[in-house]
Chains A and B, each alone.
Chain A
């Protein structure tokens, strides 16, 4: 079965705190892609990062960092020194290398950053 789990439904943090959003995926495929998308209140999902299954290097982009661990099937997302503009719903997604593109999304984590 292919599945993406985001156990945290809602998180609230105070501005400048660090926060980690968890993502656990299930697949038997050996080749796949993982994504994080951000959905601000305006509604349009925006791409944040993509990782393929053969690249376990962690990545940092400004205040954002991602930790990919195949051993635990996790692809966690950390925001350092959170800001109010980080308030959004964040989705983790799994793209399987099948005969056509099928992207499976997790249920999302709603992050509120309080000033």
Chain B
């Protein structure tokens, strides 16, 4: 069964902490994405990667960075967490061809206190 796995389902952090959200996929997908989901706003793209060590900014990259050292793993980093980064974070992956469907992880609900 194909899977996108996010390391934590729930996470509570303090303001100013460095936070790592990990995502692993087992489908040999070239593309990996990090989205943020907030009520009424849908899913907003933070960053995505189309190959190892390659990354592109999405619509809301401020306050975030990413790392993709291996094809199967895509990490989202909050350098100094703030309360406005409290949200649901969703990782997704897909093959590179245009119009390929996305496979999603179950999400990480991050609370920054």
Contact = CB atoms under 8 A, between A and B. Distances in A.
B76 interface: no
Contact of B99 (A37, A43, A95): A95
B42 A35 contact: no
Contacts of B31: 101
Contact of A108 (B42, B56, B101): B42
A33 B104 contact: no
A103 B102 contact: yes
Interface size class of A (residues with CB under 8 A): 20 to 34
Given A101-B31, A101-B50, A102-B45, A33 B99 contact: yes
B102 A47 contact: yes
Interface string B13-29: 00000000000000000
The dominant DSSP class at the B interface is: strand
- Report whether over half of chain A's contact residues are helix, strand or loop; otherwise say mixed: strand
Contact of B88 (A35, A43, A50): A43
Interface string B78-113: 000000000010101010101111111111000000
Interface in B33-58: 33, 35, 40-45, 48, 50, 56, 58
Given A43-B88, A43-B107, A105 B43 contact: yes
A102 B56 CA distance: 10
A47 B104 CA distance: 9
Interface string A1-39: 000101001000000000000000000000001010100
Contacts, number: 59
B50 A44 contact: no
Given A91-B43, A106-B42, A107-B41, A35 B106 contact: no
B74 to A, nearest CB: 14
A73 interface: no
Nearest to A44: B106
A42 B102 contact: no
Nearest to B96: A101
